[in-house]
Amino acid sequence: MIRAQPFLRRNALGLIGLTILFVAVACALAAPYVAPYSPTSISLVARMKPPAWIEGGSLSHLLGTDNLGRDILSRVVHGARISLAVGFAAVILGALIGSTIGILAGYFGGWIDSGLSFLIDVQLSFPFTLLAIFLLATFGGGFWPVVLVLALATWVNYARVVRGKVMSVKGQDFVHAAQTVGVPTLGILRHHILPNAVSPIIVVASFSMAQAILTEAALSFLGVGVDGSNPSWGTMLNDGRSYLQSAWWLTAMPGIAIALTVLGGNLCGDWLQDRFDPRLAR
């Protein structure tokens, strides 16, 4: 049943995922050096140029130009900044809220647990997409509103997983020992409970990261996404959707970027889940 597998084979998918994410992050950090042009420099006479390998394309615009004659490669590279920033910010915020609630509910139990669990129940019965559109259409889109909404949507995942983990940990001897010798509650939470909850948090985070980037694209489609001077991948995808049949590269390039990054996030998530806790329920 259980075969011995060489390291590389066991970790191949995870390594692929990590590599993809690493490349995406590197692009985002080094965007001004990697991108051949400014992502916002417009040239109306050079609009809709196809990628270099298609007839009519040229090497000066490797991935072609968009409806305003902007270089798509430059926009995809710069777009990584916004899309990844949205993903990371949403993950960090969601994880902070969710883990805090999960730890509190799991450790203290009783009415605190009941109250927080009720909150989780309310959130779970609230249709997420509708919530997101509702909030964003009411308060307006933009970077922070989108991050906030994504965090609001995902904190439950952390809260549930962390609560379960904490409940199992707190019954163990070393926690009892710490309590008996009079370690303050905050200290117990920090030194004994939190470290044990880290692995499930990281697993949920890598899935959430993928989900956040995908959801940002969906929100852009509905007209309530991040919409600033610099494009996110979702915005690019949405801006190009009228040209899907006449100039496919406007949507294909950011689409591939999204799909790859999401794939990276999901591969990492799977891999970490296998390593940390194969039985972890999602």
Partner 1 sequence: MSRYLAKRLFMAVLVLFGVSFATFIVGHLTGDPVALMAPENAPQEAKDELRRHLGLDQPLLTQYARFVGRALTGDLGHSFVQGTSVAGLVAERLPATLQLAFAGFVLSLLIAIPLGIIVALKRNTVWDFVVTALAMVGQSAPGFWIGLMLIAVFAVELRLLPVSGYGGFAYLVLPAITLALQSAARLTRLVRASMLEVLGADYVRTARSKGLRERAVLVVHTLRNAMIPVVTMAGLEFAELVSGAFITETIFAWPGVGRLAVTAVYQRDFPLVQGVVLFAAFAFVLINLLVDLLYVAIDPRVKLA
Partner 2 sequence: MTSMRGAWTRRLFLFTSLTVAAALGAPAAGHAQGAPPVVIASSEDVISLDPHLLDSNNPTGSVIWSIFDSLVRRAPDGSPVPRLATSWERVDDVTWRFKLRDDVTFTNGEPFNAEAVKVNFARMDTAPFNTLQQLHDQTGLKEVRVVDDYTIDLVTEAPTVNMLYWLAEAFIAAPKYITDTPPDEAAVKPVGSGPYKLGSWSRGDRLTLVANESYWGEQPSAKEVVFRAIPEMSSRINELKAGTVDVVVGITPDVAGEVTSDVSDVVMNEGLRKMHMGISLNGEQPALKDPKVRQALNHAVDVPLMIEQLLGGSTSQLTSIVNPPNNNPALKPFAYDPEKAKALLAEAGFADGFPLTIQYSTRFAGGKEVSEVVASFLEPLGITSTIEAVELGQFRKELSAASLKGIYFQGWAALINPSVELVILTCGHVDNSSGYCNPDYDKLVKEASQTLDDEKRKALEFQAQEIVWNDAPWLYLWRLPNVFGISKRVAYDFRADNYLEPYLITVK
Q: Which residues bind partner 1 (CB under 8 A)?
A: 1, 118, 121-122, 124-130, 133-135, 137-139, 210, 214, 217-218, 221-222, 237, 241, 244-245, 251, 255, 258-260, 262-263, 266-267, 278-279, 281-282
- Give whichever of 118 and 174 is closer to partner 1, judged by the CB atom: 118
Which of 13, 15, 18, 47 binds partner 2 (CB under 8 A)? It is 47
Angle at 32 (CA atoms; ends 27, 35), nearest 5 degrees: 70
- Give whichever of 33 and 279 is closer to partner 1, judged by the CB atom: 279
Which of 198, 228, 256, 275 binds partner 2 (CB under 8 A)? It is 228
The reply on whether position 88 binds partner 2 by CB under 8 A is: no
Buried b (16+ CB within 10 A) or exposed e, 146-167: bbbbbbbbbbbbbbbbbbbbbe
Strand, coil or helix: 32 = helix
Instruction: Report the candidate in 85, 68, 70, 71 with the shortest Cα–Cα distance to residue 28.
Output: 85
Task: Name residue 71's beta-bridge partners.
Answer: 65
CB of 127 to partner 1, least distance (A): 4
Alpha helices in the chain (DSSP H): 7-29, 31-34, 72-108, 110-124, 128-139, 143-170, 173-180, 185-188, 194-221, 233-239, 249-276
Instruction: Report the candidate in 150, 145, 142, 188 with the shortest Cα–Cα distance to residue 169.
Output: 188
Partner interacting with residue 210 (select from partner 1, partner 2, none; CB below 5-8 Å by kind): partner 1
Number of residues that bind partner 2 (CB under 8 A): 24
CB of 95 to partner 1, least distance (A): 21
Radius of gyration of the chain (CA): 22
CB of 266 to partner 1, least distance (A): 6
Partner interacting with residue 262 (select from partner 2, partner 1, none; CB below 5-8 Å by kind): partner 1
Strand, coil or helix: 170 = helix
Locate 184 and state its tokens.
Answer: 């303050």
Which of 32, 127, 140, 187 binds partner 2 (CB under 8 A)? It is 140
Strand, coil or helix: 224 = coil
Which of 22, 30, 32, 41 binds partner 2 (CB under 8 A)? It is 41
Which of 124, 242, 256, 276 binds partner 2 (CB under 8 A)? It is 242
- Give whichever of 29 and 244 is closer to partner 2, judged by the CB atom: 244
Left, alpha or beta for 243 (phi > 0: left; psi -120 to 50: alpha)?
Answer: alpha
Contact footprint for partner 2 (CB under 8 A): 40-42, 44-45, 47, 67-68, 137-141, 223, 227-229, 239, 241-246
